[in-house]
Amino acid sequence: MTFINDKTYTHTAPTTVAFLGLGVMGYAMAGHLAKAGHTVRVYNRTPAKAQAWLQDCAAAGIDTARISTADTPRAAAAGAGVVMACVGNDADVRSVCLGADGAFAGMTEGAVFVDHTTASAEVAREMYTAAKQLGLAFVDAPVSGGQAGAQNGVLTIMCGGDNAAFAKAQPVAECFARAVTLMGDSGAGQLTKMVNQICIAGLLQGLSEAVAFGQRAGLDMTQVLGVIGKGAAQSWQLDNRGTTMAGDKFDFGFAVDWMRKDLGLVLAEANRNGARLPVTALVDQFYADVQHMGGARWDTSSLIKRLK
């Protein structure tokens, strides 16, 4: 699979965009920006990854005169109207935004920072305030859709921030998304992503138990999943992970380590707001079991490994 698949882009006029973080998701997201005609400057902590991105863009037929790398987030952000990031956690968000070499130091007044990292609502609000004090805008914009969604340019993006900042970010983000929605004030994007992860955790545990039960009962699970997928049990997880779970295949992008990070954010927020999440807390511990089994880099459907 190529790192970016074919997509029809319907954005506004090309602009200068910086992209910080070329991990599993960001690598393809930045590629779509370049393919769509934007001038893109990228930064990655490992410079070799940024160089590989340039080479892959060239191989995909992208005009190399419009793409470049930078040594720091500040250098990448200089002159960009929109700066996007997809990094690991709260500490990484602060690292690429703040400080002498951070993106905020290089951005010009009126520019928008769009953070696609799945992070806490607290850090989103913190960066929003820091950006506003500098005459900048900040939108928290975590994504859902996994590596395949990034490669195909069909991510779902949940945003928090001001209307004007969202309006500037939305057409750029649509280069790698099928839906970009403003959910409310700063932090609302991250909170929406937490709701998403709560749903996924429960669905995957239920699907794991169902597949394991069916296999022990001697059923043809390909046939079973095909039948129940046409009824009330249907879900994205069943359609896309049911047969691979039955086939003991767990190499589909979103790793257990990352899910545990996300569920940690969920449970911390629930502790603050008083929400009761007994199933989510239990599934988080099941993922810890998978880590102890050596499955830290297996995808999230590997919950079924505990049941075999």
- The C-alpha atoms of residue 275 and residue 230 are separated, in whole angstroms, by 33
Q: Which of 35, 168, 193, 305 is catalytic?
A: 193
Contact 211, 244 (CB under 8 A): no
| 193 a catalytic residue | yes
- DSSP per residue, the chain: --SS-------SS--EEEEE--STTHHHHHHHHHHTT-EEEEE-SSHHHHHHHHHHHHHTT--GGGEEE-SSHHHHHTT-SEEEE--SSHHHHHHHHSSTTSHHHHPPTT-EEEE-S---HHHHHHHHHHHHHTT-EEEE--EESHHHHHHHT-EEEEEES-HHHHHHHHHHHGGGEEEEEEEESTTHHHHHHHHHHHHHHHHHHHHHHHHHHHHHTT--HHHHHHHHTTTTT--HHHHHHHHHHHTT---SS-BHHHHHHHHHHHHHHHHHHT---HHHHHHHHHHHHHHHTT-TTSBGGGGGGGG-
Residues with catalytic roles: 193
